Structure 1
Amino acid sequence: MRPDYKIHFYNEHACIRFKAMAGQCEVLVDSLEPATVEQIAALAYHQALRVDNKFSRYRNDNICHQINTARGESTPIDEETYRLLSFADQCYQSSKGLFDLTSGILRRAWPFDGNNRQPNQQQIDALLCLIGWEKVLFDNKQVTLPAGMEIDLGAIAKEYAVGLVAQACTQLAPRASVLVNFSGDIQVSKARRDGLHWKVNLDLPEHYDEQHSLLEIKQGAMATCSQYHREAVVNGKRFGHILNPSTGWPVDGAPASVTVFAKNCVQAGSLATLGMLQGDNAEAYLQSRQVEYKIVR
């Protein structure tokens, strides 16, 4: 049976589309050779599904589920999982605790499911005691999570998958420029042969003009952290879904979206999230990291 992806050929490039990792995935290839495009399509599709199946918190048959249901016991991990946990630890340390993979449990108080209800402080306080990356113990063989706590690798897994696909395409088709776009998280394998940039539309609300939504990328990666698709409006006040793990409440002064350009997608994605978590200080923070960025407020 043919995998569930579609390939379209245009004048100067091919476009591969499929759904994975809770969103729309798109891969652009500046080659019209059917065999090359088909190989890239199969690689991208299967790699996205592999990472999703392995690290999604929505499944009950993967390593994330094993860790979260171990009830305080140690869970064996492989080298790939160890690398992701190590990167999460670096983000936690550099953000002074704002980037915390254990904070996903706050979704119990803030489901952002369209009901537009605001939790009370008692509900939030009950969850805050189950948050704290410093309580997670791990090495390259195992990880131990206190009973009742959870980790959510969703904050880095999609960007990780984008980088894997882009790197693999460099080896598979070294002469082609391949743009990997998983729901707005993007990495380009190499510059296009014609010297042109790839053009990318940010998924912004309709009232933003093209100046805000159209971006160009030649090589490297870009990732966007945005608020406008998941929010709650309570008594006329708008709450975005980016939550502060130390308070349990939405980040004050957070932008509508933060886009960061970096060498690889994992780096771009983490910096975009960290910028969003800075709230009013997002611009100053990203300037201090000396990266190119675009913020929409």
Structure 2
Amino acid sequence: MVDAVYRFPFDAMASRCEIRLAAVDGHAVEELAQAAIAEVRRIERTYSRYRADSIVSRINAAAGRYRVECDDETLQLLAYADHLYGVSGGLFDITSGVLRHAWDFRQPRVPARDELAPLLALVDWPAVQREDGGIFLPRAGMEIDFGGFGKEYAADRACALLQQHGVRHGYVNLGGDMRFLGPQPDGRPWSIGIQDPRKRDGTVASIAVSHGALTTSGDYERFFDIGGTRYCHVLDPRTGVPVSHWRSVSVLAPLAALAGSVSTIAMLKEADALPFLAASGLAYFAIDSAGQTYHHSISGDYAS
């Protein structure tokens, strides 16, 4: 009996999401999909900066006041954030989310330098104190934000849950951040389109993927234009100003968290991104501000 492919669309993390699984028994696979969706929503509840009861909000509310105890999962994410800060040369800084208080991408307004200055003074991951299973943000107003890899982490966790239950064909797609469980039932890879950063319904490439993860960071998700200049939501933590060298960077990696981190760091590195991408050893497809494309082994695949 040939497996059928079942689709389970849902909303999470301010994104349209979908889990696509192949199975003989539709009822059994639906239970698994719902368990995976529940895991995504657990991570959103736990780490969303928009929920007052999340661990992230509790850490931020305690800034300059007291230390907050963390569970093992949160400590692992904080350790990963510390690793990303190091490998990015300080560009990937989870305390830079505070800059969103100056930028509202729903309206075209560039904040003045004196608006950014007090916020930039709060961007300082090395000052954050992590010891004895807890974290302390030393200055009032400091914040952390796992948004730089939260969706990708959730995709990996949902995929791990499905793999533990024997699912071998399908993928998890959280707003374009994708983690693959295995090929289509007939063994063919999934054909995934890379979004055209200048055409909402267009694609610029089609990538064949069976395993691993594919994520994209770009200047087209949240942005506004003023006088022909595009201001996107990817902000340089040193200046508080949006990056502008790349339209998008897509990365293929074994894990979604890794792919997403590398693509975001590449955006932040601007003109220095290509040596960084080459050093990563990962496949990528990048489009610069002039529309020129750069890629390396993007048709590759990662076995589980």
Deviations for 1:110-159, whole angstroms, at most 9, x for unmatched residues? 1111x211111111112110101101111361110122100011111111
Structure 1 residue identity aligned to 2:284:
Y
| TM-score, with structure 2 as normaliser | 0.88
1:88 maps onto 2:88 in alignment: no
Tell me the alpha carbon deviations over residues 142-187 of structure 1, each in whole angstroms, 9 at most, x when there is no partner: 110122100011111111110011111111124x313011011111
Equivalent of 2:113 in 104, 121, 130: 121
Q: 1:295 maps to which residue?
A: 286
Distance verdict in 2 for CA 1:238–1:76, change over 3 Å = same
Aligned partners of 1:170 and 1:190 also within 8 Å? no
SS at match of 1:251: coil
The alpha-carbon distance between structure 1 residues 79 and 246, as it changes in their structure 2 partners (threshold 3 A), is: same
- Kindly state the Cα deviation for residue 101 of structure 1 after the two structures are TM-superposed: 0.5
Contact 2:6 2:20 in 1 (8 A): yes
Q: Structure 2: how far apart are the matches of 1:281 and 1:244?
A: 14
Are residue 172 (structure 1) and residue 165 (structure 2) matched?
Answer: yes
**Aligned residues between the structures:** 285
Other structure's SS at 1:293 match: strand
1:89-238 mapped onto 2 (5 Å cutoff): 89-113=82-106, 115-139=107-131, 141-146=133-138, 147-174=140-167, 176-205=168-197, 207=199, 212-238=204-230
- Given that 2:249 and 2:263 are in contact with CA atoms closer than 8 Å, whether structure 1 keeps it comes out as yes
| Contact residue 120 and residue 237 of structure 2 kept, 8 A | yes
Task: Report what 1:264 is aligned to.
Answer: 255
Q: Cα distance, 1:275 vs. partner?
A: 0.8
- Larger % of strand: which? 2
What residue in structure 2 maps to residue 60 of structure 1? 52
2:239 corresponds to 1:247: yes
Deviation string 1:54-109 (CA, Å, 9 cap, x unpaired) is: 00001111111110001321001000000100000000011110000010111122
**Residue 279 in 1 paired to residue 279 in 2?**
no
8 Å Cα contact 2:4-2:24 kept in structure 1: yes
Tell me whether 131-140 or 188-197 shows the greater mean CA deviation.
188-197
> CA–CA distance in 2 between the matches of 1:210 and 1:123?
37
Rounded Cα–Cα distance in structure 2 between residues aligned with 1:282 and 1:210: 25
Task: Tell me the equivalent position of 2:35.
Answer: 43
**CA 1:190–1:63 in 2, change beyond 3 Å: closer, same or farther?**
same
Aligned-residue offset at 1:205: 4.8
Determine the C-alpha separation between the residues in 2 that align with 1:59 and 1:178. Answer: 31
Does the CA contact (< 8 Å) of 2:250 and 2:284 recur in 1?
Answer: yes
Superposition TM-score, scaled by structure 1 size: 0.90
Q: Does the Cα contact within 8 Å between 2:181 and 2:210 map onto a contact in 1?
A: no
SS of the counterpart of 1:130? coil
Cα 1:209–1:61 shift into 2, 3 Å: closer
Query: Structure 1: which 5+ runs fail to align?
Result: 1-9
Unpaired stretches in structure 2, ≥5 consecutive residues: 289-304
- Identical aligned residues as a percent: 35
SS of the equivalent of 1:189 reads: strand
CA RMSD of aligned residues (A): 2.0
Relative to structure 1, the CA distance from residue 209 to residue 67 in structure 2 (aligned partners, 3 Å threshold; closer, same or farther) is closer
1:10-66 deviations in Å (ceiling 9; x for gaps): 984111110011101111112241133212221121111100000000111111111
